Structure 1
Amino acid sequence: MSTSPDPQLPADQAGRTENEIELKDVVGLSQGEIVRRRFFRHKGAMVGLVVLVAVALLALTSVGVGPIPGWWQFTGKETTLAIVNPGGAPTLQMPTWLGGEGFAIGSHPFGQDELGRDMFARVMHGVQTSLMVMFIIGIVACAIGVLVGSLAGFYRGRLDTLLMRTTDLFITVPTIVIGAVIGKIAGRVSGWLFAVALGLILWTGLARLVRGEFLALREREFVDAARVAGASSRRIIFKHILPNAIGTIIVSTTLLMSSAILLETALSFLGFGIQPPDISLGKLIYDYQQAFSTRPWLFWWPGLFIVVIALTVNFIGDGLRDAFDPRQKRIPSERKMAKAMAEDGTGRRAYVSTVRPQDDVRNAGMGG
């Protein structure tokens, strides 16, 4: 009577081979190089990063920044322009293979409003403002959240109670309500002040995450070793604990920035955000809401860029999460698995040539 091979052995061998392939890819690399390699291998993050950089460059170079002029012929503030197409329809035409009459940009590719102002220039100004607000909110909220969370998690006791009760106080009040009040006050002054004000109320979630990380890391052996060596609390926080929590901080900040641009859009749409003469994407939607049924292109382009920016930031955040999390593993291809198992010196060459590694795992889970 013939006996079948132990089904657990191929599964164990496949698991060991996966670990060997992963270790071989990172041998001799520092932690920063490992994180960078994992991030650059994340296809979604790379697509998101390229698209976000392209959108930022388009907005900055087309209409210029401050006194620096751009290459686009209009500023979006002219009210004496003749309306080219009926109703100010976009002059952009699709190529023939998409059902259009032939690709053409024209003088107003995003169309014109009722005053003849060029929508492409106005949308690009809106993208600049929205990106500025997003980054400022991320920086301010990150600074406050990391400071509050690290102090609460490291020192605990009364300081932890005081800081967390303050955080709970901010959480209990709806963000949209606080943002509306702040936007009504700060939005009339300037866009950057509006962004700073929003950053002062959006740090609560990050503070809780950082506190949890510090509570876990402060009990680790390397922190005890630093205390025994005579390191001060400040050095332990900045040199030992904070670098180990940087992954959580970066990922949470990117996701916060994605939600921040949506909050700014919502507040501007309600009339509590960016005020003239500044332009934001949400403000554009608010200004042209009455023309939704007659001139929908006034909504298409601002809405499209809002969605694109939010999605790209989320994709970048996913890539950073996978790069910083050591529990995330890149599954090697079937070809790499077969090659590694055939060359590992265990004498299982014949098995690899007939059975795929994922079949091993499946058979092991089914009991043979």
Structure 2
Amino acid sequence: MLEEIPVSNNGVPEPEIAQASKPVSRMRLVLSRLRSTPRFWVGVIGLGAVILWAAFGLIPNQWNYTDLDVYSMGSSPNSVHWFGTSDIGEDIYAQTIVGLRKSLVIGLLVGPIAAIIAGIVGAVAGYLGGWWDRTIIWFIDLLLVLPSLFLFILLSPIFKSLSWVALIFLLAGFGWMIMARVIRAQTMSLRERDFIKAARFMGVDTWTIIRRHVLPNVSSLLIIDATLGVGGAILSETTLSFFGFGIQAPDVSLGTLLASGQGAAVTRPWLFIFPAAILVFTVLSASLVGDALRDAVDPTSGVNRD
């Protein structure tokens, strides 16, 4: 005998009503918004293609970025040198890939590191309050008013003698302040919630509350900040290297390639166009992903542009 399914007054089976009224988790809602956002997929595909090309692009190429072809100096793109060569016979294709690798590593590390610093500092200031909050905010405001570019220039002689890894921590050290203020404001709201008060009344220590309850509730903001920070870090590194204050020879980055090719942008445009196009494409892809994430987490952050 078939089981009779209860039906509501409007003819809809009650199990379907219960399933339809079941609340959707925040993660599923964000993923649903991302799936219906074309610019997210454009950014993910573009950024993924750039990373794959940087990782495996040298395999089909017979030239290393340090090789010199004395028989083909300053040549235009051809079947042997796909992006052409420099004045001394360096393969621009190989140098572009190696420079892209360096810029990607810096960007993919600086963004998350700056987001982690912002999350910790902002959560501590917002949760502890009092003189902790006043001291941290004073320090953040001080860093915000300091001209970071001039500080980079002043510190560049010190970092020239160090590895390019030092540039990662320098860029991350000046890229967390704005998001830290946002996290502080969110934390000040969270600490008045019932679950935070309950944990405090149960004797849970401050650092455990911040780690288990505060940071997970602001993680979406930190993910967005880390994603958007990738493109910003790549641009910052390129700018510093372009002016001679970032990556130093014999290392190669997109900034050093643009600096060496700017003088020949008209007479030998392949020296400048290829690194510049890769830089624009990479930063645009990372920005599209971060922009889509921001709108998916907070639909009120901007109008729907799709």
Which range, TM-score by smaller chain?
0.7 to 0.9
Q: 2:36 aligns with which of 35, 41, 54?
A: 41
Q: Structure 2: how far apart are the matches of 1:211 and 1:141?
A: 15
1:167 correspondence with 2:140 = yes
CA deviations over 1:83-104 (Å, ceiling 9, x no partner)? 28xx41112xxxxxxxxxxxxx
User: Which residue does the alignment assign to 2:76?
Assistant: 89
Q: Distance in 1 between matches of 2:94 and 2:70?
A: 13
Alpha carbons 1:132, 1:192 under 8 Å: kept: no
Cα gap change, 1:148 to 1:74, in 2 (>3 Å): same
Structure-2 separation of matches of 1:293 and 1:52: 29
Match of 2:112 among 139, 146, 151: 139
Q: Is the 8 A contact 1:59 1:128 kept in 2?
A: yes
Going from structure 1 to structure 2, the CA distance change for 1:176 and 1:241 (only over 3 Å counts) comes to same
In 1: Cα distance, 2:21 partner to 2:273 partner: 45
Q: Match of 1:305?
A: 278
Q: Is the 8 A contact 1:136 1:192 kept in 2?
A: no
Out of 73, 79, 104, the residue aligned to residue 62 of structure 2 is: 73
Secondary structure of the structure 2 residue equivalent to 1:55:
helix
Counterpart-to-counterpart distance in 1, 2:233 and 2:32: 28
For the residues of structure 2 that align with 1:134 and 1:181, how far apart are their CA atoms? 22
Residue 127 of structure 1 contacts residue 281 of structure 1 at CA under 8 Å; is this kept in 2? yes
The answer (yes or no) to whether the contact 1:214–1:241 under 8 Å persists in 2 is yes
Matches within 5 A, 1:129-208: 129-208=102-181
Runs (4+) off by over 6 Å? 23-26, 328-331
The answer to whether structure 1 residue 58 and structure 2 residue 53 are counterparts is yes
Offset at 1:259?
Answer: 1.4
d(CA) in 2 for partners of 1:114, 1:234: 58
Taking the aligned partners of 1:188 and 1:294, their CA distance within structure 2 comes to 34
2:263 aligns with 290
Q: C-alpha distance in 1, partners of 2:176/2:23?
A: 37
Q: Quick check: 2:227–2:289 contact (8 Å CA) kept in 1?
A: yes
Distance 1:26 1:235 in 2: 35
Cα distance change on mapping 1:224 and 1:107 into 2, 3 Å = same
- Residue 77 to residue 151, structure 1, CA distance change in 2 (3 Å): same
**Does the C-alpha gap of structure 1 residues 25 and 107 become closer, same or farther in structure 2, counting only changes over 3 Å?**
farther
Q: Is the 8 A contact 1:183 1:267 kept in 2?
A: no
**Gapped runs of 5+ residues in structure 2?**
1-17
- What do you get for the CA RMSD once the two structures are aligned? 2.5
Q: Which residue of 2 aligns with 1:340?
A: none
> Counterpart of 2:29 in structure 1: which amino acid?
I
Does the aligned pair in 2 maintain the 1:269–1:285 contact within 8 Å?
yes
Aligned position for 1:320: 293
Instruction: Classify the secondary structure of the residue corresponding to 2:68.
Output: coil
Task: Give the partner amino acid of 2:153.
Answer: A
The SS at the match of 2:215 is helix
After superposition, what is the alpha-carbon deviation per residue over 1:124-151, rounded to whole angstroms, capped at 9, x for unaligned?
Answer: 0110000011112113212221111111
What amino acid sits opposite 1:74 in the alignment?
Answer: W
For 2:166 and 2:109, the matched residues in 1 are separated by: 9
- Structure 1: segments with no counterpart, 5+ residues: 1-22, 64-69, 92-105, 332-368
CA contact (8 A) 1:182 1:198 kept: no
In 1, the alpha carbon distance for the partners of 2:54 and 2:183 equals: 34
**Could you say what secondary structure the match of 1:279 adopts?**
coil
How far did 1:188 drift? 4.3
- Fraction of identical pairs, as percent: 34
Q: For 1:330 and 1:231, how far apart are their aligned partners in 2?
A: 41
Q: 1:307 to 1:188 in 2, by over 3 A?
A: farther
Preserved contact between residue 152 and residue 211 of structure 1 (Cα < 8 Å): yes
Q: CA deviation at 1:158?
A: 0.6
Following superposition, the deviation at residue 154 of structure 1 comes to: 0.6
Aligned position for 2:11: none
Q: Kindly indicate whether the alpha-carbon contact (under 8 Å) linking 1:59 and 1:125 is maintained by their aligned counterparts in 2.
A: yes
Report the count of equivalent residues.
287
Residues 123 and 214 in structure 2, CA contact (< 8 A), matched pair in contact too: no
